């Protein structure tokens, strides 16, 4: 714990990943954990491990700001189920991690906390909305971290920071009302290695009395991971018409080659989705639940909100209305899942890039300028991401693992997508890939 604290004091002025630090309390807990190991007891699964908790997940008696000046003084009355389980397992929550306001962006910056930067290249964002968690892991200021994912908010930061992030299938990990009832929403683990990610997932999984969609019984991942011999894996260099930059194409191909080397049968496939359909389905969905929540706060607090938060609420409302409402959105979602479901009926898993470009610029909200990928100007910056497809296909487990680094030094990632509720397979594939292509490094510049 001393090492983690010293590391945070050294790099946090540049990275800005921690929204709250409770180091003194953490050191007291670390002493208690030390005794649990020294005195011959039975240490709990996370005994003494530093866990950075995403600020979105409330802890009773502590600030619960949602990254917004509107809630700068709000104190939580309840604790998130994920946090409860980490504490019960002996984990030490020594810090909480930054997010964009209301977690409604694919980058991490806010009026409340400022700009969080990518440890690999400080000119870039670590992604969002669990950007603080990804940046903390990459810069060595935590051992484990929590995240949440409504459109890629675990996988985008994991891809951009060279870490591992898991979007569990819907209902596998308990969440809090009302967003536990939103099938796009997932809480999950982040770590530097597949085994660490599995350890945290096994800690937070299982039914909870306050979450009606939480699945029973709890499904625990096996201790031994990495068996892929004979698995049939579909390799999609692109999910359809996304713009993919050459570095990411090459890194994804290298992942496919590595899995063949590990004994899997890997075949290139075409999925045939259109990113415009995915964006329309996603914002139609956001316009029914997430957008109105942000708009309600904006109506009361006005100028306290960031421009990107109010723009998100307005855009989701417009798309929702133009698309014909929630029913029309569900019809589009069903059409999007059809080719994925057909592929996963023939293959054990699917691999594809997490993003089409290596990271977003730090401090940019992409409201006044458009994101350009492969010299193509995107209508919305989130079109650079291929994560939202699998919030639509929410029952599919998806593990992001690193695939390499791009020209700008920013890491890139691949998504390992499993059949509905088949969590172990994606972890086996991730572990096999990690063994074949080790990656647990930290940025040289920090």
139 belongs to the catalytic site: no
Tell me the pairing of strands 50-54 and 144-149. parallel
Strand 411-418 relative to strand 349-353, pairing: antiparallel
Provide the 10 A C-beta neighbour count for residue 187: 27
Could you tell me where the beta strands, DSSP code E, fall in 120-235? Answer: 144-149, 164-167, 186-191, 232-235
- Give CA 183 to chain center in angstroms: 15
Catalytic-labelled residue, pool 153, 316, 394, 403 = 153
Tokens 């967003």 map to which residue? Answer: 179
- CA-wise closest residue to 325 among 363, 278, 286, 359: 286
Judge contact between 57 and 82, C-beta under 8 A: yes
Query: Does residue 129 have an active-site annotation?
Result: yes
Cα separation, 161 vs 136, in Å, equals 9
Across 225-365, where does the E strand assignment appear?
232-235, 265-268, 349-353
Question: Which residues are CB-contacts of 1 (< 8 A; sequence separation ≥ 6)?
Answer: 26, 27, 29, 30, 48, 50, 92, 94
Catalytic residue among 129, 133, 139, 394: 129
Catalytic-labelled residue, pool 54, 167, 394, 403: 54
214 is catalytic: no
Beta bridge partners of 146: 189
For 210, the 3-state DSSP assignment is coil
**Residue 237, preceding peptide bond in cis (omega within 30° of 0):** no
Report the catalytic residues.
54, 129, 153
């Amino acid at each position: 714990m001393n090492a983690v604290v010293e590391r945070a004091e050294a790099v946090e002025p540049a990275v800005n990943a921690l929204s709250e630090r409770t180091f003194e309390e953490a050191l007291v807990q670390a002493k208690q954990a030390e005794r649990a190991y020294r005195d011959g007891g039975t240490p709990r699964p996370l005994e003494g491990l530093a866990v950075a908790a995403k600020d979105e997940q409330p802890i009773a008696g502590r600030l619960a700001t949602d990254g917004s000046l509107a809630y700068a003084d709000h104190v939580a009355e309840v604790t998130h189920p994920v946090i409860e389980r980490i504490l019960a397992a002996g984990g030490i929550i020594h810090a909480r991690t930054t997010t964009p306001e209301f977690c409604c962006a694919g980058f991490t910056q806010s009026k409340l906390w400022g700009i969080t930067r990518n440890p690999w290249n400080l000119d870039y964002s670590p992604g969002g909305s669990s950007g603080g968690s990804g940046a903390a892991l990459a810069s060595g200021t935590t051992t484990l971290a929590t995240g949440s994912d409504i459109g890629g908010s675990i996988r985008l930061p994991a891809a951009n920071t060279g870490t591992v992030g898991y979007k569990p299938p819907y209902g596998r990990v308990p969440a809090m009302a009302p967003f536990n009832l939103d099938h796009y929403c997932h809480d999950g683990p982040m770590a530097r290695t597949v085994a660490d990610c599995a350890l945290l997932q096994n800690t937070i999984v299982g039914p909870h009395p306050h979450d009606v969609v939480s699945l029973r019984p709890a499904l625990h991942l096996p201790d031994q991971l990495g068996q892929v011999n004979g698995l049939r894996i579909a390799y999609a260099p692109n999910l359809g018409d996304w713009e993919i930059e050459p570095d990411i194409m090459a890194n994804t191909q290298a992942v496919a080659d590595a899995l063949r080397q590990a004994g899997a049968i890997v075949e290139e496939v075409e999925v045939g989705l259109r990113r415009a359909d995915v964006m329309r389905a996603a914002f139609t969905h956001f316009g029914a639940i997430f957008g109105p929540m942000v708009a309600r706060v904006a109506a009361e607090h006005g100028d306290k909100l960031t421009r990107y938060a109010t723009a998100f609420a307005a855009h989701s409302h417009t798309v929702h209305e133009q698309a014909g409402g929630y029913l029309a959105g569900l019809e589009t979602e069903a059409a999007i899942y059809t080719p994925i479901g057909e592929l996963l009926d023939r293959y054990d898993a699917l691999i594809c890039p997490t993003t089409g470009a290596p990271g977003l610029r730090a401090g940019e909200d992409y409201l006044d300028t458009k994101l350009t990928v492969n010299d193509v100007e995107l209508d919305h910056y989130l079109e650079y991401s291929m994560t939202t497809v699998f919030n639509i296909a929410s029952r599919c487990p998806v593990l992001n693992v690193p695939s390499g680094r791009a020209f700008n030094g920013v890491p890139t990632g691949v998504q390992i997508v499993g059949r509905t509720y088949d969590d172990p397979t994606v972890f086996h594939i991730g572990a096999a890939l990690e063994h074949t292509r080790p990656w647990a490094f930290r940025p040289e510049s920090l």
